[in-house]
Amino acid sequence: MRMMGICQEISERKRAQHVGQMMSAFLDSSDDIIISRNLDGIILSWNRGAQRSLGYLPEEAIGRNIRALIPAERIDEIARISDVVRGGGTVSNLDTVRCHKSGRDVHLSLAAAPLRDAEGNVVGVASIGRDITQRIRVDAERSLLAAVVDSSSDAIVSLGLECTIRSWNHSAELMLGYSASEVVGHHYRMLLTDEALEHVRVRRPRLQRGEPIAPFETLIRRKDGGFVLVSVAAAALREGSGQIAGVAAVVRNIGSHKRLEVLLARTQTIGHVGGWELDSRSLRLFWTTETYRIHGLDTEQPAPSLAQSLNFPGRFNRPVVAVRRVTSACAARLASRARAARMARPTIASAIERL
């Protein structure tokens, strides 16, 4: 009795199986969206990255047409990718959009390549996409902030930790006479007087701790050698990690405002005319020195409230009574508008801090 047997070399097949298992594990563990489909658009594979970014489980996605993931306005994109891949070509760095299971848009950077069978024929498309939704959102916020900064009537300047100027908006050019190319990369000292340098020196420790700097008044230099009286407010710029990366300053020209204040004070003193100013947000009343003198009050004490002023005793009651109703109505209207403005309008300083 004899027995016969055959043997076959299967080491190559084992090696191929091992490589396939390794590749499958690699693709499934990737954070990128890796999908394969046939030329008709039917999804053949769906990794965990696709599940995390697009919300569908593999059993929900495999077997469906890829068109279910495409926004209506981009549906022609599938045919264009298939045409390129069918001819043996590849697609790379395509910024596109896919639909999440929840219905929201997911922005992707996409690459696609031919999927071939054992004979080398193109039988489908393999694609890999990276979720760039957060990057798109940040870019949009930065573009909005840049538009706000560039359209502001205030000069807005940013400085690096080394105290060199990083950015310089259009209003800074108009106020100080320097173009952005003339100042960016230079030390901010070129703009400051000795007085302004002292203001900065005193406030630098607070900036280094990340504390905002309330507006202060000082003189800064123009390109033509003149000076501008300004109000300066500053805040720390932070990186995504929270580390302080620089300083942003908002500079407002108050020269004209100060000249008007001096002129008004002189006029009131000469003509014995008192004046007042009402803060529309707090309804706080401010009196000029001449108003205090007329009413015989000490300038060191706070001005009476609006209600107290309207009923203030003395020889000036008659004109006050005449305007009481108008002033009260104006005050109420100003307060209402101020409350609405605080709720609806973001400030430039808050936009800078979010950066």
What are the pLDDT digits (tens) for 108-120? 999 999 999 888 8
| Three-class SS state of 71 | coil
More confident residue, 94 or 143: 94
What is residue 346's predicted lDDT score, i.e. its pLDDT? 45
Q: What percent of the chain has pLDDT over 70?
A: 70
Cα 309 to Cα 316: distance, rounded to the nearest angstrom: 11
What is residue 325's predicted lDDT score, i.e. its pLDDT? 46
185 Ramachandran zone, left/alpha/beta (phi>0; psi -120 to 50): left
- Is 80 exceeded by the pLDDT of residue 8? no
What are the pLDDT digits (tens) for 295-313? 777 777 776 776 776 666 5
Task: Name the one residue in this structure whose structure tokens are 């605080």.
Answer: 342
What are the pLDDT digits (tens) for 233-243? 999 888 877 88
What are the pLDDT digits (tens) for 320-332? 443 444 445 555 5
Q: Quote the mean pLDDT of the chain.
A: 79
What are the pLDDT digits (tens) for 339-350? 554 554 444 444
Taking alpha carbons only, the member of 197, 216, 214 closest to residue 206 is: 214
Burial of 92 (0-12, 13-18, 19+ CB in 10 A): exposed
Average pLDDT (286-295) is 75
pTM for this one? Answer: 0.48
Q: How far is CA 18 from the centre of its chain?
A: 49
Structural domains in the chain?
Answer: 20-131 (3.30.450.20), 137-253 (3.30.450.20), 272-344 (3.30.450.20)
**One-letter amino acid of 293:** R
What is residue 14's predicted lDDT score, i.e. its pLDDT? 59
